[in-house]
Amino acid sequence: MLKIIRDKLPELLTAWARGARVLVPRERGGTRVFLPWEGEGELALGQGNTLEPPKDLFFPRTETMYRYQVQGKDASLAEEPAADARQVLVGVRSCDAKSLAIMDDAFLTKGYVDEFYRQRRENTRVIALACTEASPTCFCTAFGIDPGRAEGVDVQMWPVEGGYLLEAVTEAGQELLRQAGDLLAEEGDAQPPAAAVPPLQVDVSGVTEKLQRMFEHPYWTAVSRKCLGCGACTYLCPTCYCFDIQGENQGDSGYKFRCWDSCMFSEYTRMAGGHNPRPSKKERLRNRFLHKLQYFPERYGKFACVGCGRCLDRCPVNVDITRVIREVKEVTL
Amino acid sequence: MKGIQEQMRARARELLAQGAVQMVIGWEKGTFWYLSPPAFVTDPEDCDRLVWDEFCTNNLAKYLLDYKHTGDRIALFVKGCDARGIVRLLQDNQIDREKVYLIGIKCPGVKDGRQAAALGEARRGEVPLAEKCRYCTHPEPVLYDELLAGDAAAREAAPGEGRFAEVAKVEAMSPDERYAFWTAAYDRCLRCYACRNVCPACNCRECIFDRSQSGWCGKQMQRSENMFFAITRAMHVAGRCIECGECERVCPEGIPIMALNKKIIKDLNELFGEYEAGVDLEKMPPLGQYKLDDPEEFH
């Protein structure tokens, strides 16, 4: 196993930043988010999750899809330049690493490949950082995620006394560690530290089957009463991938863009004629949970929740997905 | 504060059992010791869920809009800011006074849940007052049908100084610095609309930000659209913001929204005379009334 001393980590990031954009948790406005590393400044790897998940780096909040120009009776389209810049994402927790596999299912499988997503995904190397301390809102283990070792990443890091242990998982990961040169030292007998034990536990077994019979259950009225109908939960969720496509027209030219959208908003399901099949927050909140716990498992064989706890942490009214799972399992049909 | 909690439960039980109200809105214990989110009780047997502690932070007034088209009469527990939210909604003719039963609580100020989480339960006594309560001018409800007798006296209204301290900081900036400050803040904005949805002054039946096809504001999360949202929201609550601070509390990105709201309050005070929204039912907001001697010329 290789080790880097803590003070040398910025040098390693700088080495990786030659030829790639390195993104790492840093402080911004009192919170921690993945920000580009430009050779100097403070890192905020800390413990626990960043405020925002890294999904924005693969699926930006807003991205232009193409531009158009109209001249008389002719129209021309211009493709956007490919998003082919290399990215190295450092300090991804196991929950967020798992969320990438979930996003891959949605964007890359079942017969359609989303090129915007694919380009960024293929051009990004992911370096995970194991959790040795859990936040009160963490429950990744409920979904079989190991906070001590992430799946689907290129390099795994562990925090240890004075620095970090590193282990390459893929070919690309080995290449990244080779780039580190003598910043890394061999620590033959070093053992990864014990993984964090998330304090929040919930048993998700059987919840999909129960939900399949609960669409019209009065539970949804009760649980949705306090919901404000804001989109904080969906926008901070690492696995919420809904988007809207709209155009911005300026005279003879314009562009089509896509941007994040949230099933918690009224506009999300409003049809052209004005009808809204999800007219109130009851139907919208129900959809959010059914998507994560029923529809996605039915389609892809896995839950669309990774137990990162961001929704629970930031919900203004404490809508708690673990509590919803427990209550769903308890209600009588 | 046990005394108040017991009275809350007893009164909720009585009102529901008598059929005087169909629902009671208060607070209950949430996932963690530092969370006391809103609770909706319809069964008199279920009233022991209600709690009163230092984390009963949420302003409950806005929820009445969810029931305005029902025949239900609703009892609501009101702190100072909740009651001001009710006044605000009444002044906008959003709710029917007869359909609301207000149970007042003298508020000692609520505590900061996020800092509580960081400190840990062992240091519960050290949790500071929530930012939104630091400059509260009306801890006691300004409107109620009954007032719970408290064993913890409401604290004195906070002194006026400090209320506009954040505004003064931003005003002291150069125009370029100020532009950098607000763009940095609103570049983070996720447009989740938590600030709007929690606000008792935001009560449009349909918000323009839920109508992106109207062309007023694009759905792009980018600086120009985010700033348009920020300014429109702030100007729309001008003269009607009750300073409950809920917008800033619920913002996941920590945008200093109250600095914007308070700047407008400060300007309104200077232009039209001192006014506090949601305090007096009879006193209309400065931008919601017409006067022949309006300081602003109107042709």
pLDDT (tens digit per residue) in A2-20? 999 999 999 999 999 998 9
How far A289 CA lies from chain B's nearest CA (Å)?
18
How far A180 CA lies from chain B's nearest CA (Å)?
33
How far A52 CA lies from chain B's nearest CA (Å)?
9
pLDDT at residue B266, as a whole number: 96
Domain boundary among B85, B114, B147: B147
My answer on whether B36 and B142 are in the same domain is yes
Residues in chain A, pLDDT under 50 = none
Domain boundary among B115, B147, B179: B147
Mutate to test the interface with A, among B188, B244, B253, B255 (most CBs of A within 10 A): B253
Q: pLDDT class for B47, splitting at 50, 70, 90?
A: very high
Mutate to test the interface with A, among B41, B115, B220 (most CBs of A within 10 A): B220
- CA atoms within a 13 Å half-sphere pointing along the CA-CB vector of A296: 24
My answer on whether B12 and B140 are in the same domain is yes
Distance of CA B187 to the CA centre of its chain: 24
B35/A318 touch (CB, cutoff 8 Å), yes or no:
yes
My answer on whether B134 and B190 are in the same domain is no
My answer on whether B14 and B141 are in the same domain is yes
In chain B, which residues have their Cβ closer than 8 Å to the Cβ of A246? Answer: 212-213, 218-219
What is the DSSP pairing of strand B146-147 with strand B100-104? parallel
ipTM at complex level: 0.94
My answer on whether B32 and B132 are in the same domain is yes
pLDDT at residue B151, as a whole number: 58
Return residues 216-245 of B near A (CB < 8 Å).
218-222
Q: Is residue B155 part of a domain?
A: no
In chain A, which residues have their Cβ closer than 8 Å to the Cβ of B40? Answer: 222, 225-226
The larger pLDDT score, comparing residue A48 to residue B104, is at B104
How far B47 CA lies from chain A's nearest CA (Å)?
15
pLDDT at residue B289, as a whole number: 83
- Token pair 């214990």 in the structure block, residue: B29
Q: Is residue B273 part of a domain?
A: yes
My answer on whether B122 and B185 are in the same domain is no
B172 vs A319, B34, B135, B166, B235, CA distance in Å? 40, 36, 21, 10, 21
pLDDT at residue B76, as a whole number: 98
Q: Is residue B294 part of a domain?
A: no
Output the pTM of the full model.
0.95
Length of chain A: 333
Task: Determine contact: A53 vs chain B, CB below 8 A.
Answer: no
B64, B22 Cβ separation under 8 angstroms: no
pLDDT at residue A37, as a whole number: 96
Residues β-bridged to residue B75: B24, B101
Q: What percent of chain B has pLDDT over 90?
A: 84
In the predicted structure, residue B297 carries a pLDDT above the cut 70 = no
My answer on whether B143 and B183 are in the same domain is no
A29/B253 touch (CB, cutoff 8 Å), yes or no:
yes
What is the DSSP pairing of strand B100-104 with strand B74-78? parallel
In chain B, which residues have their Cβ closer than 8 Å to the Cβ of A29? Answer: 184-185, 188, 253-255
What is the DSSP pairing of strand A155-160 with strand A163-168? antiparallel
Task: Determine contact: B190 vs chain A, CB below 8 A.
Answer: yes
How far A217 CA lies from chain B's nearest CA (Å)?
17
**Mean pLDDT along residues B107-116:** 94
Mutate to test the interface with A, among B28, B181, B193 (most CBs of A within 10 A): B193
Query: By CA distance, what is A249's nearest residue in B?
Result: B215
Query: By CA distance, what is A244's nearest residue in B?
Result: B219
Q: Is residue B203 part of a domain?
A: yes
pLDDT at residue B299, as a whole number: 54
Give the domain extent around B171.
Answer: 165-288
B194/A31 touch (CB, cutoff 8 Å), yes or no:
no
pLDDT at residue B161, as a whole number: 72
Contacts of B159 (CB under 8 A, 6+ apart): none
My answer on whether B126 and B181 are in the same domain is no
Instruction: Among B63, B117, B221, select the one facing A62 at the smallest CB separation.
Output: B221
Mutate to test the interface with A, among B70, B182, B219 (most CBs of A within 10 A): B219
Domain count across chain B: 2
Domain boundary among B86, B119, B147: B147
My answer on whether B28 and B92 are in the same domain is yes
User: A29 in helix, strand or coil?
Assistant: coil
A317, B38 Cβ separation under 8 angstroms: yes
Q: pLDDT class for B288, splitting at 50, 70, 90?
A: confident
Q: Is residue B154 part of a domain?
A: no
Mutate to test the interface with A, among B59, B186, B188, B190 (most CBs of A within 10 A): B190
Task: Determine contact: A5 vs chain B, CB below 8 A.
Answer: no
A266/B35 touch (CB, cutoff 8 Å), yes or no:
no
Q: Is residue B153 part of a domain?
A: no
Q: Is residue B296 part of a domain?
A: no
**pLDDT (tens digit, 9 = 90+) per residue, B175-220?**
999 999 999 999 999 999 999 999 999 999 889 999 888 888 999 9
User: B146 in helix, strand or coil?
Assistant: strand
The Cα–Cα gap between B71 and B248 comes to 33
My answer on whether B141 and B224 are in the same domain is no
My answer on whether B10 and B133 are in the same domain is yes
My answer on whether B177 and B142 are in the same domain is no
Task: Determine contact: A259 vs chain B, CB below 8 A.
Answer: yes
The Cα–Cα gap between B25 and B60 comes to 7
Averaged pLDDT score across all residues of chain B: 93
A312/B218 touch (CB, cutoff 8 Å), yes or no:
no
Q: Is residue B37 part of a domain?
A: yes
Sign of CA dihedral A39, A42, A46, A50: negative
Query: CA geometry: angle at B238 spanning B237 and B239, to 5°?
Result: 110
pLDDT at residue A36, as a whole number: 96
pLDDT at residue B188, as a whole number: 95
pLDDT at residue A157, as a whole number: 97
